[in-house]
Chain A
């Protein structure tokens, strides 16, 4: 059974710092991995999608890496800003229709 874990559960850092969020999964037979952002009481915004054949994806200040063999992904946020404060979730596509999710990392960027 695929399980997705995100560490840490919460993180608070000063504005301007670079930071790394971690995601691990137990079954390496994934099709892709996605990172999402969720603002309080809101839906999900897709940030980056990494196909199983890829090693990383970049979008602006965000960089996500994928190591299937070790069951790990990281989301790197450069030069953090208060507007980056949100909960970040990772999800793996384990079949052709189902996403399996971690519980998220709640990120607070202090001005």
Chain B
């Protein structure tokens, strides 16, 4: 167990709807990263938040947005859901944003878009 929690565990949404996924970081971690993992593939980096500011972003459209709160918990919001958004969404927290800091992953949220 890494101490990183995510909610909900599973979620089913309809195309066009909006969804919010939540992540609680490990104690003492100020950085959170979000990843999308489609079935049978490796995770793809969505974005990272460091001390409540977006610190880097992968190749995802603006309808993927995030927030990090003062307690360093985080949200991933996806608007106008598409069928291809169906995936496992993983968050990872770390002590800092440099490359030397290991990322600790939560169990993920399985999103199904119908």
Contacts and interface: CB of A to CB of B under 8 A. Distances in A.
Interface string A42-69: 1111100101000000000000000000
A102 interface: yes
A34 to B, nearest CB: 8
B84 interface: no
Contact of B103 (A31, A99, A104): A99
A93 B90 contact: no
B45 A99 contact: yes
A99 B42 CA distance: 11
A98 B106 CA distance: 17
A96 B42 CA distance: 19
Interface string B71-114: 00000000000000000101010000111101111111010000
Contact of B41 (A34, A45, A91, A103): A103
Given A97-B33, A97-B97, A98-B58, A49 B102 contact: yes
Given A89-B42, A98-B56, A103-B41, A31 B100 contact: yes
B26 to A, nearest CB: 12
A46 B99 contact: no
Interface in A67-111: 89, 91, 93, 95-104
Nearest to A9: B40
B49 to A, nearest CB: 10
A103 B2 CA distance: 23
B20 interface: no
Nearest to B108: A43
A96 B102 contact: no
Contact of B42 (A41, A43, A46, A104): A104
The 4 A-B pairs with the shortest beta carbon distances in the complex, nearest first, are: A101-B42, A31-B99, A43-B107, A44-B105
Interface of B: 2, 6, 31, 33, 35, 40-45, 48, 50, 55-56, 58, 88, 90, 92, 97-100, 102-108, 110
